Structures are given as structure tokens and as C-alpha cells.
């Protein structure tokens, strides 16, 4: 395979995964997605802690439905954060891997 073909394919894949939006929208998406992600993760741990009574209950005694809700909330928070990182504002630079400049951090 030609290495120039690999570069083109990786640029297209990365570009398709990023969404370029106006700066004002980028700020709103970043703030609220981070807020929701943190709330879901912390809330999920609180729900999971409640379901297991601070991990003191045996598997037979704990509330399985509440424990599953806690795990789903934690996963939802992670997904919200992961998808929000796909947004970038107009004029923001490319990720390090695609930059023509060498990284000097190790």
C-alpha cells in the first residue's frame, strides 16, 4: 500500500468524526455536555451506592434494578462526554497526530 493513501484515509475518517460549529455553539455544547456528563456520573455513583448500601449488602439483598440504573447512568455520562469531544470551533487547530509540526513533549 502507498503511504499517501493511508494519510488520506485517516484524514477523511477523522474529519468525518469531527463537527465544526460556530464558537458560540461550541462553548454551549462544551459547558452543558460537561455539566450533564459530571451530573450523570456522580449521580450514577450515588444511585449505585444507595442500591448496595455502601457495598455492605450481599448480592441477594441489594436492589438490582437500582444498581443497574446507577451503572447505566455512569455509562450515559461517559457517552455524553465522549460525543461532545467531537465538536470543535471554527479555526481550531487539527489534533496533534495530524499536525505538520512535531510534538516536543517526549
Read off the pLDDT of residues 54-100 as tens digits, 9 standing for 90 and up. Answer: 888 888 899 999 999 999 999 999 999 999 989 888 888 666 655 55
Instruction: Supply the pLDDT for residue 43.
Output: 97
Q: pTM higher than 0.95 for the full model?
A: no
Residues 6+ apart with CB under 8 A from 33: 80, 81, 83, 84
Query: How far is CA 28 from each of CA 7, 17, 65, 81, rounded to the nearest angstrom?
Result: 32, 19, 34, 13
Separation of first and last alpha carbons in the chain = 29
Read off the pLDDT of residues 5-61 as tens digits, 9 standing for 90 and up. Answer: 444 444 555 556 788 889 999 999 999 999 999 999 999 999 999 999 988 888 889
Instruction: Supply the pLDDT for residue 94.
Output: 66
Amino acid at each position: 500500500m502507498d503511504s499517501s493513501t493511508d494519510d488520506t484515509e485517516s484524514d477523511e475518517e477523522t474529519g468525518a468524526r469531527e463537527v465544526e460549529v460556530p464558537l458560540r455553539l461550541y462553548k454551549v455544547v462544551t459547558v452543558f455536555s460537561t455539566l450533564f456528563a459530571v451530573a450523570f456520573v456522580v449521580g450514577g455513583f450515588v444511585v449505585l451506592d444507595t442500591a448496595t448500601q455502601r457495598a455492605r449488602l450481599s448480592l441477594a439483598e441489594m436492589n438490582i434494578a437500582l444498581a443497574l440504573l446507577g451503572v447505566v447512568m455512569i455509562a450515559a455520562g461517559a457517552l455524553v462526554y465522549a460525543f461532545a469531544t467531537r465538536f470543535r470551533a471554527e479555526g481550531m487547530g487539527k489534533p496533534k497526530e495530524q499536525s505538520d509540526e512535531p510534538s516536543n513533549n517526549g
